[in-house]
Amino acid sequence: MEPSGPTDGVLEVSGLEVAYAAVQVVWGVDLKVARGQVVTIIGPNGAGKTTTLKSIAGLVPPKKGRIIFDGPEITREPAHERVGRRLCLVPEGRHLWPNMTVEENLLLGAFWPSLRSQAQQNMERVYELFPRLKERRRQACGTLSGGEQQMCAIGRGLMSDPLLLILDEPSLGLAPILVAQVFQMIRRIAAGGMTILLAAQNAKNALEVAHYAYVMEAGRVVLEGSAEELRCSDHVRRAYLGVVV
């Protein structure tokens, strides 16, 4: 990946602070996502990555800060309006409907009225990207393997024709061979020009697919730079890549 920082911004977050009741978990986060790039947020469990993504998607209201998406400020917009603006979060844990078929789950990604006319076309693109889903399209999602369920969750996100696809811990809980497959999926999606914001504890794989990266610890961004710069950072190598420096 090219080691260039965000320039043509699709997303700009400034001074983001988020609290659950009296407990603040995100403190003054600034980040940008450039059009056509993969940007990753790495950090340990509990660092505030998921809360940051949920706030960007409109699921958790910010205490302070601004969120600019493709021009307008969306800080106080409800989540469904952000989907209408083509901002899509694929949540940690997939959150599929287990008793519904793969195809039914995919169609739920195209619920926004403006998307319904192109749902079949978008589904064919998803099936082209993930042939396994086409094979399993009549199968209940609850009977799929973990890797297949992650394909379905990402495919459902792509059904919304996103301008920005946000992926929260897409490889969490998967076997190592499936982790590699998930990051290969992300690489293929990015190669098609999709703009992606990715949160991951798996720093090695995330930095391999990303252009730019942020390190979050204890609710704050403590380091940022091109993916190549962070791969060479002593702190990242020691704390996240298992390298003794």
**Tens-place pLDDT, residues 95-132:** 999 999 999 999 999 887 777 888 988 999 999 999 99
What average pLDDT does range 72-83 have in this prediction? 95
**Tens-place pLDDT, residues 124-167:** 999 999 999 999 999 999 999 988 999 999 999 999 999 999 99
Q: Tell me the percentage of the chain whose pLDDT exceeds 90.
A: 80
Whether 244 shows a pLDDT value over 60: the answer reads: no
Whether 5 shows a pLDDT value over 50: the answer reads: no
* b/e burial code for range 76-90 (CB count within 10 A of at least 16 → b): ebeeeebbebbbbbb
Please tell me the predicted confidence (pLDDT) of residue 242. 77
Residues 6+ apart with CB under 8 A from 155: 106, 109, 126, 129, 130, 133
Using a cut of 0.75, tell me whether the model's pTM lies above it: yes
What average pLDDT does range 86-103 have in this prediction? 93
Residue 4: name the closest of 30, 29, 31, 39 by CA: 39
What is the bridge-based pairing of β-strands 64-69 and 9-20?
antiparallel
Residues 90/158, Cβ–Cβ less than 8 Å? no
Using CA atoms, how far apart are residues 174 and 185, in angstroms rounded to an integer? 14
**Tens-place pLDDT, residues 46-67:** 999 999 999 999 999 999 999 9
What average pLDDT does range 13-42 have in this prediction? 97
Using CA atoms, how far apart are residues 61 and 79, in angstroms rounded to an integer? 10
Residue with the larger pLDDT of the pair 1 and 149: 149
Whether 207 shows a pLDDT value over 80: the answer reads: yes
Residue 215 phi, psi dihedral angles, 5° rounding: -110, 125
Locate 23 and state its tokens.
Answer: 């407990």
pLDDT tier, 3 (very low <50, low <70, confident <90, very high otherwise):
very low
Whether 4 shows a pLDDT value over 80: the answer reads: no
Cα–chain center distance at 186: 10
Angle, helix 176-191 to helix 119-129, in steps of 10 degrees: 130
Please tell me the predicted confidence (pLDDT) of residue 169. 93
What average pLDDT does range 168-192 have in this prediction? 91
Please tell me the predicted confidence (pLDDT) of residue 1. 41
- Structural domains of the chain, ranges and CATH numbers in brackets: 1-86+162-245 (3.40.50.300), 95-161 (no CATH)
